[in-house]
Amino acid sequence: MFHPLKCLLSASVAGALLMASVAQAAPQPTKPATEFTAAANHAVLEQLPFANRQDFENAHRGFIARPDTLTIKDANGKVVWDMESYKAFIKNDLPAPASVNPSLWRHAQLNLEYGLFKVTDGIYQVRGYDLSNITFIEGKSGWIVFDPLLTQETAKAAYELVSQHLGQKPVVAVVYSHSHIDHFGGVRGIVDEADVKAGKVRIIAPEGFNEHAISENVIAGNAMARRGVYMFGALLPRSAEGGVNAGLAPTVSTGSTTLIPPTEFVSKTGQELEVDGVKLVFQMTPGTEAPAEMNTYLPQHKAMWMAENTTNTLHNLYTLRGAQVRDALEWAKFIGETEALYGDKVEVKFQSHHWPLWGKTQIHDYLKKQQAVYKYIHDQTVHMMNQGMTGEEIAEAIKLPPELESNWPTRGYYGTLKHNAKAVYQRYMGWYDGNPANLDKLPPQPAAKKYVEYMGGSAAVLKRAKADYAKGEYRWVAEAAKQVVFAEPDNAEAKNLLADCFEQLGYQAESGPWRSVYLQGAYELRNGVPSGAATVTASPDMIRAMPPEMLFDYLAVRLNGERAAGKKLVLNFTFTDLGKSYALTVENGVLTYEPKASDKADVGLSMSKGTLEAIQLGRATLEQKVASGELKFDGRPAAFGEFMGLLDKFDFWFNIVTP
């Protein structure tokens, strides 16, 4: 009767990135680029200023040292970061293969510049050790670290590289620039929490960090993590026909994510802190790339840290794994504010991804164009929207002006012009395009069956689709073949044709995530949906940091409304160490909670939050905690089992490219 409590919690996803580890039979082989893909990719060479090699000089500038090979393992010997798999086929002196967009290939080459670099006197970065950069700023007695990577193994390795070449010094402070996990998850690789509690290490973050760092992937975590397999290409082989680059970096590390909560928060622009003799001046940028984010100006170094508000790619207004749409207009305004506040003082600009930029003139031009690209996408999308165009029509019509189109740092290696324009449309107008025919459309599968019937049956559709595939019309063939796949999920011929289309579209994509999405779709059409272990990094630190309210919000979305209809249950949760009690009520098919116990509860659970965490992390069973007296039931224990019977457990490996 008591087993369900472990499931109650262990399914939660706290600020997670998904790292899939799946044992499968050898996958079906990929196919080469077609003549149409090769021609489309070759045309890119004529469209962009490939002769401009300044980025390569900047990416290498300040280089100090790197290991000859970079393969990082965890304590059990599992590889969590492997640059060698990329170095094996991405070479600076080789042109792009036909199966890779030359612009993405160039970006992948730049992202292979790994190692320890000097940004300016007193500021150093380790790049290429994870999805993000880790920055070490020299203080009077030790290092101030900006953004300690995604996992503790990669952060530890980066710290060891710094110590080897710059001397052994303690970390005296950590700054989390924002609430995404690749900017704080490695903190335990460089800091002992005992030193934080003793006041030896300060941890500084923007206001709102705790809430957003934990909550981003909790409510919709299962769906977002599954789609993250597509966005980051977690299962793709590292090859010219597979994973090449994730846009922000080669890929994500797969080690242990951690969190040490901040000891102090920044709340307003212009706020100054002196940290180990280094003055930090903060610019708050909430609601831009992250809900809680801040830039930092270092006046003694004349250096501007842009967090992830500007990188060397167009960023996402909407991320393909799924998330709330970001505000392009506010993003542009905050970049403009950076230029207005600090532009005449800055001699070097650096950030949490990619390489720095030096020189006032160059930085001014860079910031103006970064501001302009988000403002242009916003303004022109709304302009066309007000002319009656839909999101799909706008995405097809919008074009950047030449000065932005040919600017390398605003190319779409991560976000793209098309899906960012759709994001702006969505932010203002939502999913409905105004056409009554689209107000209550049939779901994909029944609609597909009617489409195929109207088009003369699957054989007729595939005959025409193959003819169009032979002409290189991959976008249309994907649309047509998708109907057959959804009408006849076991039609291998349709699935293989759709996979072929996705593959060629992936080969042509300039965006790393677009390439990964297409190629993962092709992989699953040919090989089926993966099965086996899917490890979601709901780390112990995340679980400990999760307040009870966040847990209850998550339980509410797991409630099966149909099964809960007509039922009423009241459960009291009392956390003895927090001195807090909550009443959870199931009524009218929904779960609500109040921050006080109910005198009409069917059952009460009394325990410390630490007891709850131990059960959640699998360190103890519910029965053990009941037997030890650490968990006590009051009232009708069977009511708890009834409650658990109303909660669904989400299947991670749900279908995406098939019904």
- Which range among 1-10, 263-272, 579-588 shows the weakest confidence by mean pLDDT? 1-10
Q: With bands split at pLDDT 50, 70 and 90, how would you rate the model's confidence at 646?
A: very high
pLDDT digits (tens, 9 = 90+) for 131-152: 999 999 999 999 999 999 999 9
Reply yes or no on whether the pLDDT at 535 is more than 70: no
* Structural contact between residues 228 and 234, judged by C-beta atoms closer than 8 angstroms: yes
The set of residues, in sequence order, having a beta carbon less than 8 Å from that of 83 and lying 6+ positions away, is: 69, 70, 71, 112, 114, 128, 250
**Domain end point (choices 426, 455, 489):** 426
DSSP 53: -
Find tokens 């999101």 and name the residue. 391
Reply yes or no on whether the pLDDT at 61 is more than 50: yes
User: What's the pLDDT at 24?
Assistant: 55
Q: Residue 557 is part of a domain; what is its CATH number? A: 3.30.1050.10
Percentage of the chain exceeding pLDDT 70: 95
Reply yes or no on whether the pLDDT at 425 is more than 60: yes
Task: Give the integer Cα–Cα distance in Å for 579 and 490.
Answer: 56
pLDDT digits (tens, 9 = 90+) for 574-607: 999 999 999 999 999 999 999 999 999 999 999 9
Q: Residue 353 is part of a domain; what is its CATH number? A: 3.60.15.30
Q: With bands split at pLDDT 50, 70 and 90, how would you rate the model's confidence at 613?
A: confident
**Domain end point (choices 375, 392, 426):** 426
Which amino acid, one-letter code, is at 16? Answer: A
pLDDT digits (tens, 9 = 90+) for 443-491: 999 999 999 999 999 999 999 999 999 999 999 999 999 999 999 999 9
Task: Give the integer Cα–Cα distance in Å for 617 and 619.
Answer: 6
User: What's the pLDDT at 70?
Assistant: 98
How many CA atoms within 13 Å lie on the side-chain side of 482?
A: 15
Find tokens 């109303």 and name the residue. 646
Q: How far is CA 220 from CA 208, 347, 400, 556, in A?
A: 20, 42, 33, 12
User: In 10 A of CB 357, how many CB atoms?
Assistant: 24
Residue 594, H or E segment: strand 590-594
Reply yes or no on whether the pLDDT at 334 is more than 90: yes
Residues 115 and 53 in one domain: yes
3-state secondary structure of 60: helix
Q: At what angle do helices 35-47 and 102-111 cross, to 10 degrees?
A: 70
Reply yes or no on whether the pLDDT at 529 is more than 90: yes
Residues 409 and 557 in one domain: no
- Give the per-residue SS3 of 73-109: ECCCCCEEEECHHHHCCCCCCCCCCCCCCHHHHHHHH
3-state secondary structure of 559: strand
User: What's the pLDDT at 658?
Assistant: 97
Longest dimension (CA), the chain: 77
Percentage of the chain exceeding pLDDT 90: 87
Residues 243 and 128 in one domain: yes
**C-alpha of 529 from chain center:** 21
- Give the per-residue SS3 of 305-365: ECCCCCCCCCCCCCCCCCCCCCCHHHHHHHHHHHHHHHCCCCCEEECCCCCCEECHHHHHH
Residues 9 and 93 in one domain: no
Q: What's this model's pTM, rounded to 2 decimal places?
A: 0.94
pLDDT digits (tens, 9 = 90+) for 374-403: 999 999 999 999 999 999 999 999 999 999
User: What's the pLDDT at 221?
Assistant: 81
User: What's the pLDDT at 217?
Assistant: 66
Q: With bands split at pLDDT 50, 70 and 90, how would you rate the model's confidence at 543?
A: confident
**Encoded tokens for 101:** 């967009």
Q: How far is CA 311 from CA 21, 147, 370, 430, in A?
A: 30, 15, 9, 28
Residues 73 and 144 in one domain: yes
Q: 453 in a domain, yes or no?
A: no
Task: Give the integer Cα–Cα distance in Å for 488 and 494.
Answer: 8
> Stretch 296-303: mean pLDDT, rounded?
98
Measure the N-to-C terminal CA separation of the chain; round to a whole number of Å.
35
Residues 9 and 74 in one domain: no
* Structural contact between residues 412 and 314, judged by C-beta atoms closer than 8 angstroms: yes
User: What's the pLDDT at 218?
Assistant: 76
Q: 397 in a domain, yes or no?
A: yes
User: What's the pLDDT at 23?
Assistant: 43
User: What's the pLDDT at 405?
Assistant: 98
Residues 147 and 240 in one domain: yes
Q: 141 in a domain, yes or no?
A: yes
Q: 341 in a domain, yes or no?
A: yes
Q: With bands split at pLDDT 50, 70 and 90, how would you rate the model's confidence at 617?
A: confident
Find tokens 């990577």 and name the residue. 149
Residues 295 and 419 in one domain: yes
pLDDT digits (tens, 9 = 90+) for 630-645: 999 999 999 998 999 9
* Structural contact between residues 261 and 203, judged by C-beta atoms closer than 8 angstroms: yes
User: What's the pLDDT at 616?
Assistant: 78
* Structural contact between residues 452 and 483, judged by C-beta atoms closer than 8 angstroms: yes
User: What's the pLDDT at 267?
Assistant: 98
Arithmetic mean of pLDDT over the chain: 94
* Structural contact between residues 110 and 55, judged by C-beta atoms closer than 8 angstroms: yes
Task: Give the integer Cα–Cα distance in Å for 259 and 185.
Answer: 6
Residues 9 and 107 in one domain: no
Q: With bands split at pLDDT 50, 70 and 90, how would you rate the model's confidence at 60?
A: very high
| Partners of 206 in beta bridges | 266
- Which range among 187-196, 243-252, 614-623 shows the weakest confidence by mean pLDDT? 614-623
User: What's the pLDDT at 26?
Assistant: 83
Which amino acid, one-letter code, is at 129? Answer: Y
Q: How many domains does the chain contain in total?
A: 2
Q: Answer with the residue of higher pLDDT: 11 or 66.
A: 66
Q: 330 in a domain, yes or no?
A: yes
User: What's the pLDDT at 7?
Assistant: 43
| Partners of 274 in beta bridges | 279
User: In 10 A of CB 263, how many CB atoms?
Assistant: 15
> Stretch 240-253: mean pLDDT, rounded?
96
Q: 21 in a domain, yes or no?
A: no
User: What's the pLDDT at 622?
Assistant: 83
User: 413 — phi, psi (to 5°)?
Assistant: -80, -20
Which amino acid, one-letter code, is at 60? Answer: H
Find tokens 């400990």 and name the residue. 544
Q: With bands split at pLDDT 50, 70 and 90, how would you rate the model's confidence at 12?
A: very low
Q: Answer with the residue of higher pLDDT: 323 or 403.
A: 403
**Domain end point (choices 366, 391, 426):** 426
The set of residues, in sequence order, having a beta carbon less than 8 Å from that of 176 and lying 6+ positions away, is: 147, 183, 184, 203, 204, 205, 206, 209, 213, 262
Reply yes or no on whether the pLDDT at 413 is more than 70: yes
Task: Identify which of 594, 609, 614, 602 has the alpha carbon closest to the alpha carbon of residue 641.
Answer: 602
* Structural contact between residues 235 and 27, judged by C-beta atoms closer than 8 angstroms: no
Reply yes or no on whether the pLDDT at 13 is more than 80: no
- Which range among 181-185, 220-224, 332-336, 579-583 shows the weakest confidence by mean pLDDT? 220-224
Residues 9 and 105 in one domain: no
Q: 437 in a domain, yes or no?
A: no
User: What's the pLDDT at 2?
Assistant: 34
Residues 122 and 172 in one domain: yes
Reply yes or no on whether the pLDDT at 3 is more than 80: no
Q: 18 in a domain, yes or no?
A: no
**C-alpha of 562 from chain center:** 33
Which amino acid, one-letter code, is at 306? Answer: M
Q: With bands split at pLDDT 50, 70 and 90, how would you rate the model's confidence at 615?
A: confident
- Give the per-residue SS3 of 177-237: CECCHHHCCCHHHCCCHHHHHCCCCEEEEECCHHHHHHHCCCCCHHHHHHHHHHHHCCCCC
Task: Give the integer Cα–Cα distance in Å for 139 and 349.
Answer: 19
pLDDT digits (tens, 9 = 90+) for 158-215: 999 999 999 999 999 999 999 999 999 999 999 999 999 999 999 999 999 999 988 8
Task: Identify which of 243, 280, 246 has the alpha carbon closest to the alpha carbon of residue 264.
Answer: 280
Q: With bands split at pLDDT 50, 70 and 90, how would you rate the model's confidence at 533?
A: low
- List the domain range (segments joined by +) for residue 568: 4-13+538-644
Strands (E) located in 391-443: none
Residues 9 and 92 in one domain: no
